[in-house]
């Protein structure tokens, strides 16, 4: 399972854990597994290497969790379905993307936990950058790490740290394929994206799965 690296590390770090030595990851207070890899490097968002760690790519925000055997996982993105594959486009064409998050205010009411619009659709730009794209849509604190797919269901990546919330500017999305390549290099394993069919009847905005 993937999530945002900044949920586990300080900026400018990259770590690999073996077995169950990594941080325990929970959902609603229930342990689901342990982190095996994480990277977060936003100190300098230009293409040049960080002089304090020249081998650390920029920008980067990604983590992988090894789920416990007792956890039954479903690859589908809530409401929209997918991912059907990996979006690796490198042109500047804006694209419509879909995402499902659990952030406060936008996706749920903080005081009650009541779902509002966790399923959302918005444009994204900057696909010529292989590392990150800019999501122009409503996001909020707590949405970090949510999956983002394109209109064909291909996995674009995961929401990184927030830019300007509520869609007033943009929020960066860490692209999946270069982060997977980096994780494979660091872990010394081959990784495979679990796919699922797209839900063609899903409306642009939805409530819960």
Mean pLDDT on 42-67 = 72
Contacts of 43 (CB under 8 A, 6+ apart): 11, 12, 50, 58
SS3 40: strand
Q: For all residues of the chain together, what is the average pLDDT?
A: 87
How far, rounded to the nearest angstrom, does the alpha carbon of residue 111 sit from its chain's CA centroid? Answer: 25
**pTM, rounded to two decimals:** 0.88
pLDDT tens-place string over residues 148-164: 999 999 999 999 976 54
Domain range summary for the chain, segments of one domain joined by +: 2-187
Higher-confidence residue of 105 and 63: namely: 63
The string over 66-97, giving b where at least 16 C-beta atoms fall within 10 Å of a residue's C-beta and e elsewhere, is beeeeeeeeebbbbbbbbbebbeeeeeeebeb
Determine the pLDDT at residue 137. Answer: 85
Higher-confidence residue of 59 and 195: namely: 195
pLDDT band at 97 (very low <50, low <70, confident <90, very high): very high
pLDDT at 15 exceeding the cut of 70: yes
The token pair at 69 is 């055997």
Determine the pLDDT at residue 16. Answer: 96
Contacts of 121 (CB under 8 A, 6+ apart): 96, 97, 98, 99, 137, 204, 205
Determine the pLDDT at residue 11. Answer: 86
Q: What percent of the chain has pLDDT over 70?
A: 89
pLDDT band at 168 (very low <50, low <70, confident <90, very high): very low
Distance CA 37, CA 87 (A): 22
Q: What percent of the chain has pLDDT over 90?
A: 60
CATH number attached to the domain at 2-187: 2.40.10.10
Mean pLDDT on 154-179 = 79
Token look-up 């292989």 returns 130
Determine the pLDDT at residue 166. Answer: 42
pLDDT tens-place string over residues 119-151: 999 999 999 988 889 999 888 888 999 999 999
Distance CA 197, CA 76 (A): 8
Question: Could you tell me if residue 105 is left (phi over 0), alpha (psi between -120 and 50 degrees) or otherwise beta?
Answer: left
Contacts of 64 (CB under 8 A, 6+ apart): 1, 2, 35, 36, 37, 38, 183, 187, 191
Helices (H), 107-158: none
Determine the pLDDT at residue 39. Answer: 94
């Amino acid at each position: 399972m993937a999530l945002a690296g900044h949920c586990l590390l300080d900026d400018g770090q990259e770590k690999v854990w073996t077995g169950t030595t990594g941080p325990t990851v929970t959902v609603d207070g229930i342990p689901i597994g342990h982190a095996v890899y994480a990277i977060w490097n936003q100190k300098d968002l230009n293409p040049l290497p960080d002089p304090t760690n020249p081998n650390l790519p920029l920008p980067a925000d990604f983590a992988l969790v090894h789920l416990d055997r007792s956890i039954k996982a479903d690859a589908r993105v809530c409401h929209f379905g997918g991912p059907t594959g990996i979006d690796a486009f490198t042109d500047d064409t804006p694209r419509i993307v879909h995402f499902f998050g659990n952030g406060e205010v936008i996706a749920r009411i903080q005081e009650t936990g009541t779902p509002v619009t966790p399923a959302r659709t918005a444009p994204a730009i900057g696909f010529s950058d292989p590392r990150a794209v800019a999501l122009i849509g409503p996001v909020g604190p707590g949405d970090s790490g949510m999956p983002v797919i394109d209109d064909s269901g291909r996995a674009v990546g995961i929401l990184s740290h927030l830019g300007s919330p509520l869609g007033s500017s943009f929020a960066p999305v860490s692209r999946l394929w270069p982060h997977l390549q980096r994780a494979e290099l660091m872990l010394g394993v081959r990784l495979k994206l679990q796919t699922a069919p797209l839900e063609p009847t899903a409306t642009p905005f939805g409530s819960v799965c």
